[in-house]
Amino acid sequence: MSDCGTLINEAGNGLAPTLQAVDCMTANAGAGSFGHLMGAQGVLAPALTAALTIYVAAYGLALITGRVRLGLGGVSGRMLAVGLVLAFATSWAFYGPLVYRLATLAPDQVAGTVLGTRGSATAVFAQRIDTIYAAVSDATHEAAEQEAARNAAAAAAQQQAGAPVAVAATPPPASTNRTAGFAPGTIAMAGAIVLLLSTVGVLVTARIVLAALLLIGPVFVVMALFPAVRGLFAGWARTILLAAFAPMLVVLGGAFSLELAVPTVARLLSPDGIDQSAATGFFLIATVHAALMAMALRAAAGLVAGWRPWAAGAPDRFGSARRDDPSAMVIGTSPAGAARTFNAFAGGARGQMLAGGSDRRSTSQLVTRDTRTLAGFANTEASAPGPRRAAGIGSRFRPASVRPVMK
């Protein structure tokens, strides 16, 4: 932070210096905060070790009890997940370029490519905002000085003529014409303030929120391993995209409003003071710009709202099948248990059909047909040679009467 002292002191002088100060603080705090959290002497390093130990122990227990299939896809998927989490949560060499710099620099480069600007598109946009604000401020200040000079000249002319000085009786110049009780200079300055505040409120706020989320990102990366808190990781990722896309949309959309504002600002100052029509038009453009900033935030939120890292209700890619899947209930059980399970399902279906007023004869036929089919399925499964692939490691220790006989 010591290197950013000069930029921090100039942060209140405009939008561009404020953004430069925020970017400098974010860049300096990235690697240091990452080391404090997940480094070799990090505060959360023991918690990370405990979380990974619990994850591996739970997976081993699931293998022993037969709740998870022992296959190349499942084991390799979990190994890949653990490796990626370790890489992004403990190494700044991975997290810095692939997450930190990608989220902070990639949208700005996309906006610069679209607009054809050199360097940072956000910095160029902020400088144009500051230039317009300074031009409006200078125009109103110069108009006020011209009006004061005209009043002083009129008073001096009356003193030379020997007439009593009555400045109030002097006809007002064109710059004092009022629109709905406001002078043209006041309307122009109000438009400049609306233009500046609406842009600062989006760009600076988005940069600060993005920096804060990236600083605590390793904590949410570890949460991606556990289904119970995986939704927090998904929400963190969506918020990162929102804070990254919002400035890009603001720069792309604000470029149009600034193109409209530049010729209007050039017509503000006239020989008689601030032009009334130009001041009103500039205030209208500033109001449209403020509404555009709000629409850019809403558009960015709409873009990221439809993104789901894991679809709701989908099975775990690196884990076992869903517990409510009927196939998962049959796999790994004995033939007699499978027959009893599906007989219970058939009995429940029979009760539902009887409650709905269905014919008793057709219901019994349906149950008999299902029972025979399941019995045949059980016999087929029992006569199948070789061990079943869905059985867990613990199935090797079953009694000899339960295991199928090899022919």
The residue ranges of every structural domain in the chain are 2-140+180-305, 326-384
pLDDT confidence bin for 329, thresholds 50/70/90: very low
The percentage of residues in the chain with a pLDDT greater than 90, rounded to a whole number, is: 25
In contact, 70 and 393? CB cutoff 8 Å: yes
Q: Would you call 182 helix, strand, or coil by DSSP?
A: strand
pLDDT at 18 over 80: yes
Q: Give the mean pLDDT of 45-59.
A: 88
Query: Can you give the pLDDT at residue 177?
Result: 52
Query: Can you give the pLDDT at residue 181?
Result: 56
Q: Which residue has the higher pLDDT, 324 or 23?
A: 23
Place of tokens 């008793």: 360
pLDDT at 137 over 80: yes
Query: Can you give the pLDDT at residue 29?
Result: 81
**Residue 182 backbone phi and psi in degrees, to 5:** -115, 140
What is the rounded CA–CA span in Å between residue 117 and residue 93?
Answer: 30
Query: Can you give the pLDDT at residue 176?
Result: 46
Q: Which range among 187-196, 267-276, 288-297 shows the weakest confidence by mean pLDDT?
A: 267-276
Query: Can you give the pLDDT at residue 369?
Result: 45
User: How many other CB atoms are found less than 10 A from the CB of residue 43?
Assistant: 10
Q: Which residue has the higher pLDDT, 150 or 3?
A: 150
Query: Can you give the pLDDT at residue 287?
Result: 94
pLDDT at 295 over 50: yes
274 CA to centre of own chain: 43
Query: Can you give the pLDDT at residue 332?
Result: 40
For residue 269, what are the β-bridge partners?
Answer: 274
Query: Can you give the pLDDT at residue 163?
Result: 53
27 CA to centre of own chain: 20
DSSP-derived pairing of the beta strands 273-274 and 269-270: antiparallel
Q: Give the mean pLDDT of 5-19.
A: 83
Q: Which range among 42-51, 309-318, 319-328, 333-342 shows the weakest confidence by mean pLDDT?
A: 319-328
DSSP 324: T
Q: Is the dihedral of CA 264, 265, 268, 271 positive or negative?
A: negative
Q: Which residue has the higher pLDDT, 32 or 180?
A: 32
